[in-house]
Amino acid sequence: MTVLFAVWLGGGLIAVVVAATRDLRLAIACSLLVMSLVPEVVPFAIVEQDGLVGTLLFTTVLLACFLGLVRGHTRIALHLISPGLLLLFFIGLLVMAYALEATNADYAIDKARQLLLWSMVPIVALAALGPFTAREIRVLLVALVWGSISATLALITFGDLTAARSTLGAESPITYARAIGIGASVLVAWLIAGERKGTLTGRALALVPMLVLLGGVAATGSRGPLVAVAVAGLFAFMTSVLAGRAKTSVVGMVMVVGVAVAASSFSGASAERLAGLERVDAYLLQAGDNSSDLARLGYWDVALDGIRSSAGMGIGTGDFAGLVSMSGRAYPHNVALELWLEQGWLAIGAFMTLLVLTLRRALQLARVNELSVVSVVLSGLFAFALTNALVSGDVATNRQLWIVTGLLWLTVPGKVVPDRPREGAEALRR
């Protein structure tokens, strides 16, 4: 298994090098997206995450910004500022501004720093490289799937699959599950959307890596990301139907659901069932009654009480901890409630507006023939990230939501010529 993992990882690195000789911009974008959304591609059992992953991420950010300067993107960026990106940056500014007066200062500053460095900076770097056409988005999505498969192989190779919460190093099982789940969501949404010129054989072959990734998510014992993958598939199906692809979508949905149910039934009958899957089943059967759900429901009640007592004016970044008599890192496990409680009406208003505008944009892009498949997949990723953000993590750790949203706003139809900023700006606003 170690050899397979090494070959897979080495093959990906070679592919990036070869791609860089042909399209440096796209190669940097792939590296940036993988290191931002799937840093678990680096085997944590071998190396320390923060040092190497941070170095790789910010190296790609610098390369992206440098390439943007060379290509004249300082001018283009001014023309390509879209409503979605403006709202994203506004939310980030509010989190940082409310951190200045926070009582829980250490966590507040750390949260603002993580949001800036791991979400906002990569979005700016993607904007310097973008916008991206349908062909380029396909390449970026393939890179994400490669990253998720790499994380799964690392878990199988170096992790303990007999543990109910399998992970690597000090990484949270939920965070690791999200890194694998985002690739699973890409495949599920793609299978449901289906290429117009694709064949059933091609879609059937994609079921194999989909099942591998779903198994990887289950091995972590985290049901949230597994449920989020299902929500992603459902959302991709609805978007695809609304975009006029009903027949193709029904066939894809039947394939995905049928294979997933069959695999689950086979796993249930197997004597070597994953311990993580046992935990997922137990928690799903006790939904609302298990310790995890009860804790979250309690946090949400506290957050709502805090919103009412502060009149929704914002109590300060990270200050939820004081409401639950804790020090350090504590949050409601719901990004919407967190923004409303800690940054007030401006933040929740910007967040809800961002959701509405992004959903509207996803549907608009899905109705453009050349973008129909990739935009359906991106809408599925958006639903995956949003579902996770509403049940787990804080504003900073839910970088998948912010970066996927930014990518949706940087997706355009047709070919954008880098030296003609007006054309690029008009494409983004359509």
Please tell me the least confidently modeled range out of 23-32, 44-53, 176-185, 336-345: 44-53
What's the pLDDT at 74?
52
Averaged pLDDT for residues 9-23:
84
Q: Percentage of the chain surpassing pLDDT 70?
A: 86
* pLDDT at residue 262 is higher than 90: no
For residue range 171-195, what is the model confidence (pLDDT) as tens digits? 788 889 999 999 999 999 999 987 6
Instruction: List for the chain the helix, strand, coil content (%; round to 5).
Output: 75, 0, 25
Separation between Cα atoms, residue 113 and residue 107, nearest integer Å? 10
Query: Cα 139–143–144 angle (5° rounding)?
Result: 120
How far is C-alpha 16 from the geometric centre of its chain's CA atoms? Answer: 21
* pLDDT at residue 235 is higher than 60: yes
What's the pLDDT at 131?
86
Contact 46, 392 (CB under 8 A): no
Q: Which pLDDT band holds residue 255 (cuts at 50, 70, 90)?
A: confident
Q: What sign for the dihedral angle of Cα 43, 47, 51, 56? A: negative
For residue range 400-416, what is the model confidence (pLDDT) as tens digits? 999 999 999 998 876 54
Going through 65-197 in order, the beta strands assigned E by DSSP cover none
Contact 362, 374 (CB under 8 A): no
Separation between Cα atoms, residue 192 and residue 279, nearest integer Å? 28
Q: What does the block give as tokens for 185?
A: 């969501």
Is residue 89 packed enough to be buried (19+ CB in 10 Å), middle (13-18) or exposed (0-12)?
Answer: middle
CA atoms within 13 A on the CB side of 278: 13
Averaged pLDDT for residues 339-365:
95
Residue 357 CA: distances (Å) to CA of 137, 180, 351, 360, 408: 20, 27, 10, 5, 11
What's the pLDDT at 57?
80
What's the pLDDT at 420?
42
Residues 6 or more apart from 274 whose CB is under 8 A from it? 161, 215, 218, 219, 267
Separation between Cα atoms, residue 97 and residue 104, nearest integer Å? 14
pTM score: 0.90
Facing residues of 132 across strands? 411
247 backbone dihedrals φ, ψ, rounded to 5°: -60, -50
Contact 29, 136 (CB under 8 A): yes
* pLDDT at residue 389 is higher than 60: yes
* pLDDT at residue 285 is higher than 80: no
What's the pLDDT at 186?
96
Separation between Cα atoms, residue 152 and residue 141, nearest integer Å? 17
Please tell me which residue, 397 or 160, carries the higher pLDDT value: 397
For residue range 147-160, what is the model confidence (pLDDT) as tens digits? 999 999 988 888 77
What's the pLDDT at 272?
52
Average pLDDT of the chain to the nearest whole number: 84
Q: Percentage of the chain surpassing pLDDT 90?
A: 43
Q: Which pLDDT band holds residue 77 (cuts at 50, 70, 90)?
A: low
3-state DSSP assignment of residue 411: strand
